[in-house]
Structure 1
Amino acid sequence: MELKPEQLAAQLESGPLLPAYLVAGAEALLVLEAADAVRAAARAQGITEREVFEFEGKQSEDDWNALHASLAAPSLFASRRLIELRIPSGKPIKQGAQMIVDFCQSPPADVVLLVTTTEWSRKHAGKWSEAIGKVGRVAVGWQVKPHELPDWISRRLHARGLQADREAVLRLAERVDGNLLAAAQEVDKLALLSDGGRLDAARMDALVADAARFDVFRVLDAAMNGQPAQVARMLAGLRAEGEAVPALLGMVVMELQRTAALARIKAGGGNLSAEFKAQRIWDSKQPMYQRALQRHPAARWDAFVSQAGRVDRIAKGRGVRGEDPADAWLALERLLLAVAEPRATRMLARA
């Protein structure tokens, strides 16, 4: 039976760990918190040994053979251990899928298996995920839709011991602009700042920062997450607020250079997880980069970096003859729309 992440967390508090768990979904915060709940339950039940296996990009049989060897070997430091499989694509190769099925058919008494994936749809399910569901639990963090966000916030507030009227909840939902991580952070802040009384709209306005402000960080998140409509809307907001293109380009160039470096490592078959750690990219942000890397090849990311340099020259009046500094906004919009939507790369040739 498929559970919601919060249902899984409740079950983990009320009984012993089962042999296997699958935590999947595109909503990174929900996947991260559900997986953390499994890890916390393992620690609470005396499981101190943990092994992590990363299966990203092109999987090899050698990768899965390492897992097989670990499963066959006895625990060295504890009576039980947690083995975690991270499969961002949600698609283990045939050998890996069979290995998971075999594990579930006869789960070892000293191992708890946790599989996490940040790409998931009904098409991803198969015999391996069904096998996990038979001996354990499957929790899916489906993306929270705009009309569902107020109820999600209400539950989050209640879990933190806070009460808020409907208008206050709607005000918070409007301010975070659909960003689940921002909503969670604001609720945590409210738990620290609130005096324990019921929150109304005025009190919410006084305590919560306007997370929906059109800043460069959110524009970049929208571009990387493949949301072209959001990119256009936010850039229009920034321009209306009087921001200058050169003031934005530092972050834009840094993000494009970072993603270009990740793309080259991925194209070369390198360890993307190690690079995420080297660049200190949080787990909650990694799915965004994964989605962006799937949309464009490595060479195109390098082209985006070059295009950002052109935008900078236009903004500073050093573009080609006939280009006005005011055109920098249009050039920046075309660049970020191309990052968000591959079909928009055609506009760059005309920029």
Structure 2
Amino acid sequence: MRIFADNLAEQLNKQLHPIYLLLGNEPLLIEESRSAIYQSAHMEGFTEKQRFSLEKNAHWEDIYNSVQAMSLFSSKKIIELELPSSGVNNSITKELAALFPLLHPDIILVVIGSKITKAQENAKWFKQLSATACRVNCLTPDITRLPQFIRARCKLRNLTPDDEALQMLSQWYEGNLLALNQSLEKLTLLYPDGELNLVRLEKALSRSNHYTIYHWCDALLAGKMKRSQRILRQLKAEGIEPVIITRALQKELTQLFAMATNLKLHNLHQIFEQHRIWQSKRPLYTAALGRLSTTKIQHLLQLLCKIEITTKTQYEQSSWPLLQQLGIEACMPQVKF
């Protein structure tokens, strides 16, 4: 089964799974999920914990011994395997495939890693794991899920934000859940009545959002002009080099152009499958393809080329106004006559 990290507590109250797969890039969600699993498992008699990193030179013999060590006096245990940040290679997949059949009811296996690719999902070890595992999404919530995520967090602390406060919290803490968690704790102490509005937030908190280049690219695909300009201003303030931004956007626009060209021959589902577009990204590309013609995308690529040339050759001229222009044009709907 698949659940979001914020639904894990509810799931643990119903059932304790033999395997948990914590996947994502958000440290707060991974740590909270790990703690929730340990707490529930401890109540069921799983009092021993062992952690193993599967980075290079992992001691697989120790892992196998830990799984197979059983006696009348041994306690139930939780075994945690941390996948390498570089991904799962063939050597690790072979070991994992051999390990899973050895698991027994006195062991709960917790596997922690970053985002899994489609190819990895089809691998033997992952299919074996998924058959009995609870897969917990620990990815940082995107802007569409963030307000719902924050509202649920507030509810746990008896905080009641109005709609404007919720929107402000979403803007201020996007991409920085650790800061959000700390701020909600602070608000709980400052306002015992739990009522949150713009005046109280501005008085108590400071902006702590963290945007990446990919947030900007996603905003352009979605056609969200105000959001894209806000992200671009913060990227500039953080000293992100324009050439890094243009490289990321070049990949998106090039792929978008290829997809738009194929629209006459294939439907959207076929195009998404052909280009291996993640389900979470498909609404963004759908919006962009419905808004931008191949001619407009070509124009954006030409403007992007101009920005890159300016960045690399015209050192006395700033590229940021051109990036701002590109962002505006990419978000504007196509004018039809």
TM-score between the two structures when normalised by the length of structure 2? 0.58
Q: 1:132 maps to what in 2? A: 129
**In 2: Cα distance, 1:92 partner to 1:129 partner:** 11
Paired with 1:207 and 1:75, the residues of 2 have a C-alpha distance of 56
CA distance change for structure 1 residues 203 and 29 in 2, over 3 Å: closer, same or farther?
same
Deviations 1:65-88 (A, max 9, x none): 321122222369742011110013
- Aligned ranges 1:288-327 → 2 under 5 Å: none
Counterparts in 2 of 1:71 and 1:207: CA distance versus 1, 3 Å = same
Cα distance, 1:32 vs structure 2? 2.3
Aligned partners of 1:110 and 1:65: how far apart in 2?
Answer: 19
% identical equivalent positions:
27
1:174-253 mapped onto 2 (5 Å cutoff): 174-212=171-209, 233-234=233-234, 236-237=236-237
Superposed CA deviations along residues 280-308 of structure 1, whole A, max 9, x for unmatched, are xxxxxxxxxxxxxxxxxxxxxxxxxxxxx
Q: How much does 1:24 deviate?
A: 0.7
Aligned to 2:265: none
**Mapped contact 2:46–2:77 kept (Cα < 8 A):** yes
Q: Which amino acid aligns with 1:80?
A: K
Aligned to 2:147: 150
What is aligned with 2:255?
none
Q: 1:147 to 1:104 in 2, by over 3 A?
A: same
* Paired residues of 1:83 and 1:114 also in contact (CA < 8 A): yes
**Superposed counterparts of 1:248-267, under 5 Å:** none
Distance 1:155 1:161, change over 3 A: same
Contact 2:172 2:207 in 1 (8 A): yes
In the alignment, is the contact (CA less than 8 A) between 1:90 and 1:124 conserved in 2?
A: no
SS at match of 1:147: coil
Aligned counterpart, 1:43: 42
CA-atom RMSD in angstroms: 3.5
Give the Cα–Cα distance (whole angstroms) in 2 for the partners of residues 181 and 123 of structure 1: 31
For structure 1, the residue ranges without an aligned partner over 5 or more in a row are: 213-217, 240-326, 334-351
Deviates more, 1:84-93 or 1:143-152: 84-93
Equivalent-residue separation in structure 2 for 1:236 and 1:91 (angstroms)? 31
1:54 CA drift (Å): 0.5
Q: Which amino acid is 2:23 matched to?
A: A
Q: Which amino acid aligns with 1:153?
A: I
Q: 1:84 aligns with which of 80, 83, 91?
A: 80
Task: Please give the per-residue CA displacement for 1:137-190, whole angstroms capped at 9, x wherever unaligned.
Answer: 111223321232222111111122221111111111222243222222212222
Q: Quick one: which amino acid aligns to residue 21 of structure 2?
A: L
Residue aligned with 1:48, SS = strand
- Structure 1 letter corresponding to 2:70: P
- Cα distance between partner residues in 2 of 1:137 and 1:234: 37
Alpha-carbon distance change, 114 to 236 in structure 1, aligned in 2, over 3 angstroms: closer
Conserved in 1, the CA contact under 8 Å of 2:188 and 2:194? no
Tell me, yes or no, if the aligned pair for 1:97 and 1:128 is still in contact at 8 Å.
yes
1:90 Cα offset (Å): 7.4
2:54 touches 2:92 (CA, 8 Å); kept in 1? no
**Count of equivalent residues:** 232
Does 1:9 find its partner at 2:4? no
Paired position in structure 1 for 2:110: 114
> 2:82 corresponds to which letter in structure 1?
R
Which residue type is aligned with residue 28 of structure 2? L
Cα offset for 1:235? 7.0
Cα deviation digits, residues 8-54 of structure 1 (max 9, x gap): 32111233x32211111123322222122212222222322111101
8 Å Cα contact 2:160-2:195 kept in structure 1: yes
Code of the residue aligned with 1:49 in structure 2: it is: E
Q: CA deviation at 1:232?
A: 7.4
C-alpha displacement of 1:98: 4.0
Confirm or deny that 1:55 pairs with 2:51. Answer: no
Q: How far did 1:106 drift?
A: 5.0
Residue ranges of structure 2 left out of the alignment (5+ in a row): 218-227, 240-314, 321-337
Does 2:66 match 1:70?
yes
The alignment partner of 2:49 has SS state of strand
Q: Which moved more, 1:38-47 or 1:158-167?
A: 38-47
Secondary structure of the residue aligned to 2:84 is coil
Q: Aligned partners of 1:97 and 1:85: how far apart in 2? A: 13
Paired residue for 2:157, among 142, 155, 160?
A: 160
Classify 1:123/1:226 alpha carbon distance in 2 versus 1 (closer, same or farther; 3 Å): farther
Give the distance between the partners of 2:127 and 2:72, measured in 1 at CA.
30
